């Protein structure tokens, strides 16, 4: 909407777009998104909307993967040692895993772009992929779950089986492999690399 009479419509919408116009700024102040010209609506939906959807889908699935893989490893560690209540990784490693070691690479997912702006504007059919929910669906969700369980089990079982003689180092070995695995998952997921 572009005027004061559109405020109720904008507020009732899932995502309201207000246009600063001759009738004032009431619509743009009440809106979720404010633009200065109506011609910017296409770019807002086809480019920024597409990127927002893809980024949110990738980020949410990666965060679920990041939490589930370490949970699977902890479960296997506890099961192997007769369900003793000892944490696989102590405080500093656990906090470092979820903040320092894997938070930086996640920003690559937040900045990811699958197609250029002019291509998204030239081919609005690309937006149908978003409407069909192919990026974030039950299928993709369960694929990430399956990958998480597989990777967590493989890291833990192989760490225990291959390093039985040096079992005192199994924590360091499995943690290093866990971090490398997470970084490789980001590398596989990211479509566009940004060089600073």
Chain mean position to CA 22: 40
pTM of the model: 0.78
Residue of 77, 89, 63 whose CA lies nearest to 185: 63
Length of the chain as a residue count: 196
Q: Which residues contact 58 (CB under 8 A, 6 or more apart)?
A: 109, 112, 135, 189
* pLDDT, tens digit only, all 196 positions of the chain: 777 777 788 888 777 888 887 776 777 787 788 888 777 877 887 788 888 888 888 888 988 998 999 999 999 988 988 888 888 888 888 788 877 887 877 777 888 888 888 888 888 887 777 777 778 889 999 999 999 999 999 999 998 888 877 777 888 888 889 999 988 988 888 887 766 5
């Amino acid at each position: 909407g572009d005027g004061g009479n559109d405020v109720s419509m904008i507020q009732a919408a899932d995502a309201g777009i207000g246009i600063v116009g001759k009738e004032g700024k009431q619509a743009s102040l009440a809106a979720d998104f404010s633009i200065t010209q109506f011609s910017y609506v296409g770019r807002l939906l086809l480019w920024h909307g597409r990127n927002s959807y893809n980024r949110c889908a990738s980020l949410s699935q990666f965060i679920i993967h990041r939490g589930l893989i370490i949970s699977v490893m902890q479960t296997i560690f506890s099961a192997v040692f007769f369900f003793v209540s000892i944490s696989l990784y102590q405080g500093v490693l656990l906090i470092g895993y979820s903040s320092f070691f894997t938070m930086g690479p996640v920003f690559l997912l937040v900045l990811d772009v699958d197609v250029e702006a002019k291509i998204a504007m030239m081919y609005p059919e690309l937006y149908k992929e978003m409407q069909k929910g192919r990026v974030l669906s039950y299928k993709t969700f369960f694929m990430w779950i399956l990958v998480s369980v597989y990777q967590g089990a493989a890291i833990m079982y192989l760490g225990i089986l291959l390093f039985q003689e040096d079992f005192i180092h199994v924590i360091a070995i499995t943690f290093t492999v866990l971090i490398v695995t997470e970084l490789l998952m980001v590398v596989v997921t990211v479509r566009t690399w940004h060089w600073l």
